[in-house]
Structure 1
Amino acid sequence: MTGPRTIGVDVGPTNTDGALLVGDAPAATVKVPSAGHPVDSVRTAVAALLRDAPRAPRVTHVAIGLRSAAHAVTRREGLTRVGVLRIGGPVSDAVPPLAHWPADLRTAVHAGSAMVEGGAGLTPADATALDRDAVARFAAGLAGRCDTFAVTGVFSPVDDTQEHQAAEIIRREVGADSFVGLSAGSGGLGLIERENSTVLDAALSRHTRALADALTAALGALGLSSATILVARGDGTLTSLEYLRLHPGLALGSGPAGTLRGAGLLTGLTDAVVADVGARRIRVGLLAGGFPQESRPGLVIGGVPVSFPMPDLIRVPADDPDAFEEAVDRMQPGAARLPLVVVGGGSAAPAATRVPAAHVLLPEHGLVAGAFGAALSPVGGAHERLMRAGEAAGTNAVDEVREGARRSAVRAGADPRRVVVLPVERVPVPYLPGPAFSLRARAVGPPSPL
């Protein structure tokens, strides 16, 4: 076997799966019990792979699907307290920050909040000047007690200038090394969901830094210090550890997304319904164009509405065949039935394979589909721009969005020479004054060799 040597690992709640590939061909696969800490699970799986295939070429990168970020949120463990700043003035104060969060999660995360004058508009003429003094007072009031902040501005996906100005003021008052998450890259105009996502992103920052350091040390001790370490993200692509430190929420949905990708890669399908069968539950998702169908508006994590890109999943008990059949039917995108790919540790169970009116596939290596999905997924990036109808006339708006997506993928660790930008989506935004739409592009590429 020839080609680059890559390792994929999927850390699940019960078992951790691993696959060592040379090119696209498996040289070794393992399934080991998951340990108490995800880094211990990764270490055990990778060590077993290296023992089983000691003569394969040097490992170029290790890609890992993790659920630790989601567990930190749902279990309220390892979260950092966050100073929450909203830029918008009276136009945005109907619902205060974190108002509808579960009380225990709010207590674990909230260090203080403020709403200040400012905010972008759909056009430059609609913007309100940022109250820079109010930002400074807020940051100074938390100095010494909090070094992690989340900044959300009204209409910042249109113009994020004021979010960056606020971040500069906060770092001046609190310290240059403070973590300041900005909402403009979280997608969508919805203020509350975007703010919630930014706060959770910031709350996960310390957890993610510790995890990144521990993974680097553990894999270095196994002789993989020269390998690039990547983490699966919720949209079915990968990101470097360095980029994940800046955007911790990208790892939410990491494990399920990798499993959906793996199911497609193992069968050669780009469109399919996928069932990931575990010991206690089955997760049913849709693979569309080779990537997971992302969750619709209304996604909730730990009781909090958010706007992260994550797979759209239906979860049912593993011992309920009727619920499973209904979930598969609901996931079908239309009258033309897609094949059902069944993967995961319980994929051979009768309830998972006997679905009327479905063409069921059980791929070889389906027991470790998540590890294959991690190992063979590209590094990804995305860029979105909100516009009013007519604004793009005579401009290079589509080219700008494409270039933004390409830059995002390169920052996340993609080889700049081999990035491919997928077709730009144009989505109407009906609730704004006057016709408006969103331009969104995604870009993918293999990991950078540097």
Structure 2
Amino acid sequence: MTVTVGVDVGPTSTDAVLLDDTRPVAAVKVPSRPGDAIGSLVAAVEELPAGVRARAVTLAVGLRVAARAVTERSGLAQVGVLRIGGAAADTVRPLFGWPEELRAAVCAGVANVAGGSGLAPLDGAPLDEAAVAAFGAGLAGRAEAFAVSSVFSPADGAQERAAARILRERAGPDVPVLLSGEIGALGLIQRENATVLDAALCVLVARVADELTAALPGLGLAPGAGVLVTRHDGTLMSLDYLRRQPGLSLGSGPACTLRGAGLLAGVGDAVVVDVGERRARVGVLSGGYPREAAPGEHIGGVPVILRFPDLLTVDAAAHRDIAEAADRMQPAAGRLPVVLVGGGAHRVPDAALPGCDVVRPEHGDVAGAFGAAASPVGGSCERIVRRPDALDAVRDEVRELARAGAVRAGADPRRVRTVLDPEEYVPYLPGAVLLRARASGPPAPL
């Protein structure tokens, strides 16, 4: 039997659960300590039964420090933003449309240098290495991190990697350099924005990861217990993976709550209403995972390419608004059950949701912590291919890269499973097809 501790550090309360395989053994809720996510986590875990806790081999944590930092514009690193594309990518300048206060909190300097890749080797332009070197030297000592974005880097990331080497030479080997090609989506502006947010968050997230690692020996878990954190698609990742892509933790709180609600209720498809002290968030589970929002999502007022749960947020005290939101999230055909969870779920009567099959699962007030503890480790990969005759080979490559991503994130390589999403044609690239694979598996054993 595998014992897991799940923790959800929220703004008001911090929830913790103990699972023996998938069976809840204990659940606690303690007040969160403002500005101290790790202290809140420690206080909650210490309330769990020590005897069972001592057999826990995994600590799965829902941290919301990244989302709070972006919303409050605090704790963010100063970022040097380098775009590789030259005149061909100069129509919209870097950080255009960002809220002014967020831009001021993040931007150490921007540059657009000549270069850029393409879907085919002859489609690109050579990288202006001298301009990259000058940019890095000019921000040495000022930029705490760099974000590098190149045209078509998800298809060919060589120029981003070359620029990263030059920036480290000029600005210092310890300065983090984040590359947009690792995010995997083709659109330049949203991909660049997501990379800048990653870079702005990397120092804060590294500090929190260090604090969590330092606190682990005192939590009374099994010797050598591993730590995983939640991500935006309802899966988990290692602390090292979080350090590389902090933005993956944005939206992870709602994603874990949605998954936890479905698991506690024993349903894979449902409308989930998470009722908090002041607001209620309504989302949809599809196949046990959060339904994703359409492209064009914003974080802190910034459009990004990341895939977040599709949510509606309403006043927790307005029962009519909750009912309307739940109705809007129902699929076009059929009616899904409505799962009510969260600390304020008891204040919403069944009569407030007429015509709905309302489910109130046991331990629903700690659904986020349960979702963290019971979720698998995940990975994903996206690729664009232009030649139809290459589809079979690229499908296999995408599956394998998604699987490798899950293993790097901490999944057991022997038990990872991959799913290839339906193919999508890219409207502005005739003949191009977007392939996306997702992989998941249980955490690797000690």
55, 75, 80: which is aligned to 1:58? 55
Tell me how far 1:371 sits from its aligned partner.
0.7
Q: In percent, how many aligned pairs have the same letter?
A: 57
Helix, strand or coil: the match of 1:397?
helix
Partner of 2:437: 441
Contact 1:425 1:441 (8 Å CA) reproduced: no
Q: Deviations over 1:10-49 (max 9, x none)?
A: 1111111110111111111001111111111101110001
Contact 2:423 2:436 (8 Å CA) reproduced: yes
Tell me how far 1:57 sits from its aligned partner.
5.4
Partner of 1:381: 379
C-alpha change, 1:323 and 1:314, in structure 2 (3 Å) is same
Tell me how far 1:188 sits from its aligned partner.
2.4
The answer to whether 1:83 aligns with 2:84 is no
Contact 1:398 1:424 (8 Å CA) reproduced: no
Partner of 2:317: 319
Partner of 1:33: 31
Partner of 1:242: 240
**More deviation in 398-407 or 313-322?**
313-322
Distance across 1 between alignment mates of 2:161 and 2:86: 17
Tell me how far 1:115 sits from its aligned partner.
0.2
Distance across 1 between alignment mates of 2:350 and 2:115: 54
Helix, strand or coil: the match of 2:346?
coil
Tell me how far 1:354 sits from its aligned partner.
2.6
Distance across 2 between alignment mates of 1:66 and 1:56: 20
Helix, strand or coil: the match of 2:413?
coil
Distance across 1 between alignment mates of 2:351 and 2:58: 34
Distance across 2 between alignment mates of 1:262 and 1:428: 33
Contact 1:143 1:173 (8 Å CA) reproduced: yes
Counterpart AA for 1:258: C
Contact 1:402 1:424 (8 Å CA) reproduced: no
Counterpart AA for 2:403: R
Distance across 1 between alignment mates of 2:187 and 2:327: 30
Partner of 2:133: 136
Tell me how far 1:175 sits from its aligned partner.
2.1
Helix, strand or coil: the match of 1:425?
coil
User: Structure 2, unaligned stretches of length 5 or more?
Assistant: none
Contact 1:28 1:53 (8 Å CA) reproduced: no
Contact 2:350 2:358 (8 Å CA) reproduced: no
Partner of 1:159: 156
Partner of 2:390: 392
Partner of 1:172: 169
Distance across 1 between alignment mates of 2:156 and 2:327: 41
Contact 2:274 2:342 (8 Å CA) reproduced: yes
Contact 1:426 1:437 (8 Å CA) reproduced: yes
Helix, strand or coil: the match of 1:79?
coil
Equivalent residues in 2 for 1:11-410, closer than 5 Å: 11-36=9-34, 37-49=36-48, 52-55=49-52, 58-224=55-221, 226-350=224-348, 354-392=352-390, 395-410=392-407
Tell me how far 1:308 sits from its aligned partner.
1.7
Distance across 2 between alignment mates of 1:353 and 1:152: 51
Counterpart AA for 2:77: T
Helix, strand or coil: the match of 1:48?
coil
Equivalent residues in 2 for 1:422-433, closer than 5 Å: 422-432=419-429
TM-score by length of 1: 0.96
Distance across 2 between alignment mates of 1:44 and 1:189: 43
Helix, strand or coil: the match of 1:13?
coil
Contact 1:277 1:344 (8 Å CA) reproduced: yes
Distance across 2 between alignment mates of 1:86 and 1:353: 54
10, 34, 38: which is aligned to 2:8? 10
Helix, strand or coil: the match of 2:322?
helix
C-alpha change, 1:353 and 1:201, in structure 2 (3 Å) is farther
C-alpha change, 1:425 and 1:175, in structure 2 (3 Å) is farther
Distance across 2 between alignment mates of 1:78 and 1:190: 28
C-alpha change, 1:191 and 1:280, in structure 2 (3 Å) is same
TM-score by length of 2: 0.97
Distance across 1 between alignment mates of 2:319 and 2:21: 38
